[in-house]
Amino acid sequence: MLTALVTGINGQDGSYLAELLLEKGYRVVGYVRDSASTSAVVPGLHVVQGVLDDERRLREVIETFAPQEIYNLAARASSAHLFADPIRTAEINGLAVAKMLEVIRTTDPRIRFCQASSSEMFGHVSDAPQSERTPFRPRNPYGVAKLFAHGMVGTYRDSFGVFACSAILYNHESPRRSDHFVTRKITLAVARIQSGLQDRLYLGNLNAQRDWGFARDYTAAMWRMLQVSAPDDYVIATGESHSVREFCEIAFSHVGLDYRNFVSGDSDNSRREEPVPLVGDATKARTVLGWQPTQSFDRLVRTMVEADVAWITSQRGVIPSGV
């Protein structure tokens, strides 16, 4: 039986990856900061507690469970708090990854490692779509820290022979997405407005463009990255760009409402509109890994709305942090 260690297992991506690994017969060990926050974790896991940048604890867990694969999905979130506590963001999203790679190198260099990188590393881009060859120009502490981790993955792969990969993930959503993110804010608002529990939704720039995919597809790509013969980095994206306005239009129309009657802009939450959108070219992942998205943008939005409508109906107005 293969063993996989997954950090951030109580998040959206972690829960989908855990389900996939369990279906494939793995023993799955979840590494969490707070054992009290594991409500989203699927059954059948071993859950251990520890801080991501605690090198001694990481070594202890890896020596105890002897995983063949490690997936680092844990990070300080990139949503509305991009500039909050940049030092701690650098420690968790950057330095902790270097510590994890060093523990692998000195404990068992045969372990295969996948780092959840981010399209935020590209930052100010001059061309679209972006691929593995596009220059990185991050513009916030989250992206800078992720880029440091990304660079360390390449260093440990090239200089120390560790089977280390980076999944450069573009925006990926699901009904399990935290309500700190704009997509889930929208779908929860749709459910609450339809139920008469909310009047309006306040957002920032409705014209902001994103490449949105389905989270389950993206975790499947990370698993595939550790099954091939050679480690490498891959952009994981749909290759399609859609606006927040489109997201709202589909979400509200799915319950028979016109978003224009319920959505207002909020300048305090607005981001600058990018002259060139972040949209990914996943040709390499499609070619080498045989990976491709399984769910369209339209279906993704409707699935999220349906889940939140069902939740709000069953809970009679209690707002969940994740379904």
Query: Are residues 137 and 125 in contact, defined by beta-carbon separation less than 8 angstroms?
Result: yes
Residues of the chain above pLDDT 90, percent? 84
Average pLDDT of the residues of the chain: 92
Does the structure show a pLDDT above 50 at 176? yes
Does the structure show a pLDDT above 60 at 234? yes
- CATH code 3.90.1150.10 for 178-211+240-280+294-315: no
pLDDT category at 41 given cuts 50, 70, 90 is low
Q: Sketch the domain layout of the chain as residue ranges.
A: 3-172+212-236, 178-211+240-280+294-315
Does the structure show a pLDDT above 70 at 186? yes
Does the structure show a pLDDT above 80 at 200? yes
Task: List, for residues 91-129, the tens digit of each pLDDT value.
Answer: 999 999 999 999 999 999 999 999 999 999 999 999 999
CATH architecture of the domain with range 3-172+212-236: 3-Layer(aba) Sandwich (3.40)
The pLDDT score that the predictor gives to residue 216 is 98
Q: H-helix or E-strand containing 213?
A: strand 213-214
Catalytic pick among 15, 117, 119, 120: 120
Question: CA-to-CA distance for 219 and 167, rounded, in angstroms?
Answer: 9
Active site residue 267: no
Does the structure show a pLDDT above 60 at 164? yes
Q: For 105-142, b where at least 16 C-beta lie within 10 A, e where not — what string? A: beeeeebbbbbbbbbbbbbebeebbbebebebebeebb
Task: List, for residues 243-275, the tens digit of each pLDDT value.
Answer: 999 999 999 999 999 999 999 976 554 455 567
Question: CA-to-CA distance for 237 and 167, rounded, in angstroms?
Answer: 10
- The answer to whether the pTM exceeds 0.85 is yes
Please compute the mean of the pLDDT values over residues 172-189 and round it to a whole number: 95
The pLDDT score that the predictor gives to residue 106 is 98
Question: CA-to-CA distance for 314 and 317, rounded, in angstroms?
Answer: 8
The pLDDT score that the predictor gives to residue 135 is 96
Active site residue 120: yes
* C-alpha dihedral (30, 36, 41, 47), degrees to nearest 10: 30
Q: Which segment of 16-25, 37-46, 62-71 scores lowest on mean pLDDT? A: 37-46
Active site residue 39: no
**What are the DSSP calls for 81-122, one per residue?**
TTTS-HHHHHIIIIIHHHHHHHHHHHH-TT-EEEEEEEGGGT
Does the structure show a pLDDT above 80 at 81? no
Please compute the mean of the pLDDT values over residues 228-241 and round it to a whole number: 98
pLDDT category at 224 given cuts 50, 70, 90 is very high
Does the structure show a pLDDT above 90 at 56? yes
Catalytic pick among 16, 71, 142, 170: 142
Catalytic pick among 15, 78, 117, 118: 118
The pLDDT score that the predictor gives to residue 270 is 46
Does the structure show a pLDDT above 50 at 317? no
Please compute the mean of the pLDDT values over residues 147-168 and round it to a whole number: 98
Please compute the mean of the pLDDT values over residues 147-151 and round it to a whole number: 98
Please compute the mean of the pLDDT values over residues 34-55 and round it to a whole number: 78
Please compute the mean of the pLDDT values over residues 182-186 and round it to a whole number: 97
Please compute the mean of the pLDDT values over residues 60-78 and round it to a whole number: 94
